[in-house]
Structure 1
Amino acid sequence: MARVINRLTARQVATAKPGHHADGGGLYLQVTDSLAKSWVFRYERLGRRREMGLGSVQVVTLQEARQKAMEQRRLLARGEDPLALRVSSRASGLRTWGECVDEYIAKCQPEWKNDAQAHQWEQSLRDYGPDRKLPVTAIDTPTVVACLNKIWTTKTETATRVRNRIERVWDWAKYSNLVAGENPARWKGHLIHVFPKASKVKKVKHHAAMPYAEVPALMRQLRKSDIKTCNALRFTILTAARTEETVGARWEEFNFAKARWVIPAERMKGGEAHVVPLCTEALAILNSLPRDRPPFSLSENTMLFYLQKPKNLGLPYTVHGFRSTFRDWAAEETDVENHIVEMALAHKIKDKTEAAYRRGQLIAKRRELMQAWEAYLSTG
């Protein structure tokens, strides 16, 4: 009897628990204890069982994984060993920069806090890094400098991250015997002589937070579009969350029965788990999204660009500024106690005596606050 293939569904991929889940034909979904997901291809060659990685779920879709598995089965049918071919390809220096980036991300993903981190790496290196089609052996200092020159003074924080990511991928390529010599993206003793220190670059002045009186009109505009960025921005405003908390959200963090979003400690700025009571509109946004991928798998600046770029909204505000907007509204339009607002924003209560008495999470009171915020955003 022929082996059954294409067993997995997109929903099964999205909700899979730790372990190996067979799609058939040697393709498996590998889920670690931290719920990082990647594809592997298992086969037997000359009596020896072998396994090769095909990339992370964040980078490689179910259909793409099946196509890659089919390619490996074709190699086996021709009497070739897929892993041996991969190794010989690396040894000959034929690997592209893009292939190295993808493989490094797949290797590191189990160690990272969430799937969004892999997406951020891929997006930043695709937008600002070397051409993915270049051989990894062609990534030299002029190539790196040309990439960073475009953004070092205008997007300094992004530039420093891109430089660091290029350095790490190149180091991995050297460890894998794909390249040799000094790392062209290293900072000390090298690029430090080319670019000014990030701390010395004139900081771009942050835009002011949107006045709370203007936010209902913005929400009406965002509700007219069903694109992912608009949904993510609405959700962020409704929950008074930080950008990284939204883009890194995972389905398992949401308790729909209790209408709560439990953000784990490792994803919080303060290092403590945070519970967000979800209002009706926030729940509706979540329920409208497909479950075969993280709810808001965007790069860290996508919402900001949508907010500020003239071709989109063209507003002089930041996404993070909506947290200040929420605070201003709560202070001026409600009689909610300050410490409840602080807890809604996941801020530490500075007064130690008050903090000692406020160890509970005050979910009921915070739910009333978030429902009042939702009601306000629906006015006008």
Structure 2
Amino acid sequence: MARPTNRLSARAAQTITAQGYHADGGGLYLLVGPSGAKSWVFRFQLRGRRREMGLGSTTLVSLQEARRAVVEHRRTLLEGRDPITARVQARSVGLSFGECADALIESQKAGWKNDAQAEQWTQSLRDHGPARDMPVADVDTTHVMACLRQIWTTKTETASRLRARIERVLDWAKVHGHRQGDNPARWRGHLDNLLPRPSKVRKPQHHAAMPYGDAPAFMARLRERDARSRRALQFTILTAARTEEVTGSSWDEFDLAAGIWSIPAERMKGGRDHFVPLSTGALAILRGLDRKLPPFAMSENTMLSLVQKPAPKGFGLPFTVHGFRSCFRDWAAETQDTPGEVVEMALAHAIRNKAEAAYRRGALIEKRRSLMQAWADYLLPRSSSTATTAARPGGRPTS
């Protein structure tokens, strides 16, 4: 009968104090020394001889890492090789750049937002980084520049991210003893002497924005026909929201009585909950929708088609839906006496100071409500904006 494995827990590894060997299974042991120091040990037999292989201190090697190491060493045993000798030989050759990249990505995955981020790292380093089989100790400035030079001026953002990722891989390799010396991918004091600053060569990608002076007439044009896509675009413009925030919304996010739209962190670009005060115009649109259906379930291209069709006379289209956020910001900056942080929070942009941001999320909600109502009053005729009155806290709709 096979002996059980994974008998220890991470908690047990921290709390066990009895001197001696404590089995986890599969040949992995926690060794507690006379001084109380703890380390992982792999015990095995090869050609009738009992061997013992140290895997590192528990302060440096986790239980999961020790288990993974044992799996690799047992595989070496099945091949008829001595794991201790194989490790010495591997260290003399050194890890490859690809092996270090894989190890870094694996160690960071738990802290990333989603699996896509790991895939982006893997793909960019595979497609543009140093050769995966190159010994990581041999990577120097020449190799890094060969990766960056061809795309630095044509795909600057991609190249800048690639440089940072190569730097991280080489830092990981140095910390783990696989290379020495300065990092050839570091920017300050090194590559900044060989390449222009990214901001000097990057071509800004601006979202085409309608001048805010044309926005009221455009809103009137949207209201000429009653279509769900047109209502969705009007709502997007009135709230200065991102397209995906609107199309992905659900009814449980809207508190019509309080006049608040609460967007959960997982749907926000910045990964933080966002609260949108709803103007009378935005509330009127919501109240006119069928509650049996999701509010604005449609593809992002549906709204985009309304601003990228052949230009209605006088509008100079095409524009982008996202560009209406710039339209809102320009209007606020040029016509309203509103603090900049109020406008930035209306756009769900981060405030650098975290303590200040936490305070302002609550303190500025009424200032933002006034700003969004002023925006609605500017965009919509008074009769349209107030036909269905928003129920402010403590109020009731009048129609």
Measured against the shorter chain, the TM-score band is 0.3 to 0.5
Larger Rg: 2
TM-score normalised by the chain length of structure 2? 0.43
Q: Which has the higher contact order (CA 8 A, sep 6+)?
A: 1
TM-score normalised by the chain length of structure 1? 0.45
